[in-house]
């Protein structure tokens, strides 16, 4: 079987790696990188560290407004699909690359497989939420990481082609944790002691495009009383410079370039707490057993909140500082994301299942 796998952003590179290893045991995989994340520290380093094969196509779309970017990706993916004529297209998560890939494939009557289907934050002001909903409603295979994601789809009338597989991120972490422990020197590089610092990331438009929110969040970092490792997304850095914040950060905040996956994994695994507005990092924090403080009012990973390992604080400075000081999960973590082997289960389903008709 010929499979086209489409990725475009760093979380998708991480999810792609374990699934590609499984798919290539029996199938021909054509890897397409849309170029949605194009900075070397956001892209190239992930392919080398995660041992992902070089993309067969690099579309080089780059950044842009949502409509323009999605349209550019769609048009360029359509050209690839016309040339390759795959049996299935595989997509991950909720980016513009995900939506564009799904639209291109479904219009050409190519079966669509959505990894990480069924997530919902129920906040339609977020572009990712729209991308998730549309992609799920036009997919043939819906690979759900949690029981909640299966329920979300059922509530929207989607029950056909739905599979509870567990999360491929479990496979990625299992495979890479030991490698990161051996290879990464991130703690020594930044003078950090285990469980004695915070790891923070901020990149959502609700925070970066709102000066008051971004100032409030950074002020909270400064009042944390702990060393703060802050790998800064290129777009966040641009906005910080625009607001006059860059170069005037609190002394305890170490703002650095984005880290490679192994360094980031090692930094997260040994931190006291993680503060983020990233969906993927909320999940990684849970899997690593590190308390997570989410700089948003909603989350697609509601299970982590229900389990007591994640708390939503938005951009409220006082709340952020209070949670840094007091938030301490009391519950044991459960197997909400499933056991190791989700990648193999997904590959087996794709191998065994044949869709009748377009």
More confident residue, 37 or 204: 204
Tell which wins on pLDDT, 42 or 131. Answer: 131
pLDDT at residue number 11:
87
Question: Does 265 score more than 90 pLDDT?
Answer: yes
What average pLDDT does range 2-13 have in this prediction? 92
What is the per-residue pLDDT for 264? 96
Q: Which of 27, 58, 137, 203 is catalytic?
A: 203
For the segment 311-332, what is each residue's pLDDT rounded down to a tens digit?
A: 999 999 999 999 999 999 999 9
Number of helical H runs and strand E runs in the chain = 16, 13
255's enclosing H/E stretch is strand 253-256
For residue range 117-175, what is the model confidence (pLDDT) as tens digits? 999 999 999 999 999 999 999 999 999 999 999 999 999 999 999 999 999 999 999 99
Confirm whether pTM is higher than 0.95.
no
Q: What CATH number matches the domain at 2-166+341-352, 3.40.640.10, 3.40.50.2000, 3.40.50.2300, 1.20.120.160? A: 3.40.50.2000
Average pLDDT, whole number, for the chain?
94
CA distance 13 to 157: 30
Strand partners, 293: 275, 311
Convert the pLDDT of each residue in 213-234 to its tens digit: 999 999 999 999 999 999 999 8
Q: Which of 315, 87, 110 is nearest to 206 (CA)?
A: 315
- pLDDT, average across residues 267-281: 97
pLDDT of residue 49: 82
Q: What pLDDT score does 39 carry?
A: 58
What's the rounded mean pLDDT across residues 330-347?
A: 96
Annotated domain spans of the chain: 2-166+341-352, 174-326
DSSP-based three-state secondary structure for 196: coil
CATH 3.10.20.30 assigned to domain 174-326? The reply is no
Q: In this predicted structure, what is the pLDDT of residue 45?
A: 73
Percent of the chain with pLDDT over 90: 87
pLDDT of 358: 39
Give the SS3 label for residue 12. helix
> How confident is the model over 105-115, as pLDDT tens digits?
999 999 999 99
Does 174-326 match 2-166+341-352 at the fold level? Answer: yes
40 DSSP assignment: G
Residue 233 falls in the annotated catalytic set: no
Q: What integer pLDDT is reported at residue 52 of this predicted model?
A: 84
CA distance linking residue 221 with residue 305, whole number of Å: 22
């Amino acid at each position: 079987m010929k499979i086209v796998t489409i990725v475009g952003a760093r979380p998708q590179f991480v999810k792609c790696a374990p699934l590609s290893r499984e798919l290539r045991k029996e199938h021909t995989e054509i890897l397409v990188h849309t170029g949605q994340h194009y900075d070397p520290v956001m892209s190239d380093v992930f392919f080398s560290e995660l041992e992902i094969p070089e993309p067969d196509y690099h579309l080089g779309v780059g950044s842009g407004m949502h409509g323009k970017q999605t349209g550019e990706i769609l048009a360029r993916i359509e050209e690839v699909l016309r040339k390759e004529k795959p049996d299935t297209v595989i997509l991950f998560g909720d980016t513009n690359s995900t939506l564009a890939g799904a639209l291109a494939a479904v219009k050409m009557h190519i079966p669509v497989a959505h990894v990480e289907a069924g997530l919902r934050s129920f906040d339609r002001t977020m572009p990712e939420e729209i991308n998730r909903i549309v992609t799920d409603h036009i997919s043939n295979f819906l690979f759900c990481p949690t029981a909640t994601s299966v329920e979300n789809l059922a509530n929207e009338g989607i029950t056909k082609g739905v599979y509870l597989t567990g999360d491929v991120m479990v496979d990625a972490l299992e495979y890479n944790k030991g490698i990161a422990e051996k290879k990464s020197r991130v703690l020594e590089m930044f003078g950090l002691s285990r469980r004695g610092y915070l790891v923070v990331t901020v990149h959502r438009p609700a925070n970066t495009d709102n000066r008051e929110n971004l100032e409030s969040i950074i002020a909270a970092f400064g009042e944390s009383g702990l060393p703060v490792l802050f790998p800064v997304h290129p777009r966040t850095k641009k906005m910080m410079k625009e607001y006059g914040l860059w170069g005037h950060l609190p002394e305890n905040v170490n703002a650095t370039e984005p880290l490679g996956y192994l360094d980031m994994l090692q930094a997260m695994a040994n931190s006291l707490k993680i503060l983020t507005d990233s969906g993927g990092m909320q999940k990684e924090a849970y899997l690593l057993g590190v308390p997570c403080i989410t700089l948003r009012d909603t989350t697609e990973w509601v299970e982590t909140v229900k389990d007591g390992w994640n708390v939503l604080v938005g951009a409220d400075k006082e709340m952020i500082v209070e949670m840094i000081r007091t938030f301490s999960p009391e519950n044991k973590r459960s197997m909400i994301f499933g056991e190791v082997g989700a990648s193999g289960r997904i590959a087996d389903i794709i191998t065994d299942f044949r869709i009748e008709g377009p």
